[in-house]
A and B are shown apart, each in its own frame.
Chain A
Amino acid sequence: MRCFHCQAQLTRQDVCLKCGTDVRLYKKIIYSSNHLYNLGLEKANQRDLTGAKNYLRQCLQLYKEHIQARNLLGLIYYELGTPAEAVREWVLSENFQMEDNPASEYLHRIEKDMSSISGSVKRYNQALIYLKLNSRDLALIQMKQLMGRSYQILRARQLMALLYMQDGYFNRAQKLLRQCNKTDRGDPTTRRYMKALEERRAVGKDSSIRQAVVDAVETPPEGDVIIPQNSREYGSYFMYVLYIMIGLILGAGLIYYIVVPTVRVQEQEKNRAALESYEGSISSLQGQIVDYSADLDRLREQISILEDENNRDEVSEDVFSYEELLPVLVAYINNDVETIIEEIALLDPDVDDELYQSIYQRLRNDYQDNMGNRSFYRGTEYADTGDYQRALRMFELSCQINGADARILYYIGLSHEVSGDISQGAYYYQYGIVHFPDDPWTQNSAARLNSLLSIHSDLTVPEIAEGDALEGLTAEMPGPLPESSGNDVIE
């Protein structure tokens, strides 16, 4: 103990040895506060938190810097569910003694559990607001949520017990009140509620049958959860299953005796209607068969008529084919070689007519054997009359049909020379000289070439090698005539 004036250590003397201050009253105050703290601690150990709280508050009223009393009071506030007051006591305690003070640890812990503590307090306050607004259901929801939280509030349990008591759930109320009593044995509100509860139970046992029924239905003292009797539940399930089975059997019988015959009659009616429609379809199909038979007969008649007409068309085709031969035959009569060559190429080699094929083969053979010579002689006739243009065409036709030789090359060259194309003339002369050097007609070509070279000094002899193809033939030729298909050549 230190002097309140000079903070010197006090002795058993009634005055301070340092400053001389009379400390008798001060010592009595401190001793009294210590005594009250001891009483409070004893009550706290007995779980009479209300009694302990009262002693500790008296203690602190005497001596506010009593650290142990203030810390214990904070713990009691915390346990009773008033954390703000607990924090106040610990903060003050920490201010009075900064070092080696358990209040610091208390504050640290409460800071860690802040969310849980604040949540519980908020729900309790909200429930109170709901109750004040007569929103009992919402209040009960809040209170039930609060009952499940880790941080419990004594006043909240008491309020919940009060609500249960009002609703007639005395066992639940009793359970909560027991919990309250376990937390604080000295709380007058808990005691008062328990007393009221006992009175209410006593009244219910004596006179209220309804209350007795409620008590019987309610949970036993060990819990407010109603534990159903197993035998009764199993029996109820069995009866449910039995009822369902009976219902299914009755339903099946109802379907078999009422619904099934009706469905069968409907099906028979449908089948009968379908049968009638099939019969109608069959009769209509039979009528169609008769019609089709008549059409078939008519078509057969038409086919025979068309076949007769077709035969007549074939005869017409034969006549048409014969008409194709006429221009060729006329050209032969006129000795018109050009027309023969042109028209013979237009003939159809595949006409299926024996007479036509005979004529065609004769014309073809004559073309291959004689048309080259005919062309040559026709060309000489034109040359004799001075018509070297037409003569050149005939010579070229002859050359293409029979192939090149010294004579035809000379005449082609001569026709070009006379027509004024001396270079082409020189070409054919030179071609004959190169390819047929021993033929007598080659001498004529050489003479004409020398004559040209002497007259035309700028003329050059074209370079032709042996084996070079003949170029420059301009007459249009039908080419070799095709053979008739599938017919023997008639010689």
Chain B
Amino acid sequence: MLNFEEELAKFKPIAEVEDAADIINGEPLVDLTDIMKQMLEEASAKE
């Protein structure tokens, strides 16, 4: 059985389109290739 209050608490406000800029700026955009590059740069630096 569902608990309405618990289920309701799972619903969060949806970011409006005007807030897209905040979303873009607020999250660092790092992928595995960035990590790899950083590791390679660190390794080459040690050498």
Contacts and interface: CB of A to CB of B under 8 A. Distances in A.
Nearest to A120: B14
Interface of A: 4, 21, 25-26, 29-30, 60-65, 81-85, 87-88, 91-92, 110, 114, 117-118, 121-122, 124-125, 128, 131, 153, 155, 158-159, 162, 165-166, 189, 192-193, 196, 199-200
Interface in B1-40: 1-2, 4, 7-8, 10-20, 23-24, 29-34, 36-37, 40
Contacts of A81: 14
A193 B15 contact: no
A87 B33 contact: no
A63 B1 contact: no
B32 A196 contact: no
21 contacts: A4-B33, A29-B33, A62-B32, A62-B33, A64-B33, A82-B15, A84-B16, A84-B19, A85-B15, A91-B20, A118-B18, A121-B16, A121-B17, A124-B13, A125-B14, A125-B16, A128-B12, A158-B11, A159-B11, A162-B8, A166-B4
A88 B20 contact: yes
A122 B10 CA distance: 18
A85 B33 contact: no
Ranked nearest first, the 7 interchain pairs of A and B with the lowest CB-CB distance are A84-B15, A87-B20, A64-B31, A125-B13, A84-B20, A62-B32, A196-B2
Contacts of B36: 4, 25-26, 29
B8 A118 contact: no
A200 B31 CA distance: 45
A118 B14 contact: no
Contacts of A61: 31-32
Contacts of B1: 196, 199-200
A62 B27 CA distance: 16
A87 B32 CA distance: 23
Q: In the complex, which of the residues A88, A117, A159, A193 has the most CB atoms of chain B within 10 Å of its own CB atom? A: A88
Q: In the complex, which of the residues A84, A125, A162 has the most CB atoms of chain B within 10 Å of its own CB atom? A: A84
Contacts of A84: 14-20, 23
A133 to B, nearest CB: 12
B10 A189 contact: yes
A153 B11 CA distance: 12
Contacts of A63: 31-33
Contact of B23 (A85, A110, A193): A85
A189 B12 CA distance: 13
B14 A117 contact: no
A65 B11 CA distance: 31
Contacts of A124: 13-14
A486 B29 CA distance: 143
Contact of A193 (B2, B18, B19): B2
A25 B32 CA distance: 10
B20 to A, nearest CB: 4
B25 to A, nearest CB: 10
B31 A87 contact: no
Contacts of B16: 83-84, 118, 121-122, 125
Given A64-B34, A128-B13, 20 more contacts: A4-B37, A26-B33, A30-B33, A62-B32, A64-B31, A83-B14, A84-B18, A87-B17, A87-B20, A118-B16, A118-B18, A121-B14, A125-B14, A128-B11, A155-B11, A155-B14, A159-B8, A162-B8, A166-B4, A200-B1
A61 B28 CA distance: 11
B18 to A, nearest CB: 7
A60 B32 CA distance: 9
A166 B18 CA distance: 33
Contacts of A122: 16
A153 B12 CA distance: 12
Contacts of A85: 15, 20, 23
A159 B31 CA distance: 34
Contacts of A189: 10
Contact of A62 (B31, B37, B40): B31
A114 B42 CA distance: 46
Given A61-B32, A64-B33, A118-B16, A88 B24 contact: yes
B31 A165 contact: no
Nearest to B7: A162
Contacts of B34: 64
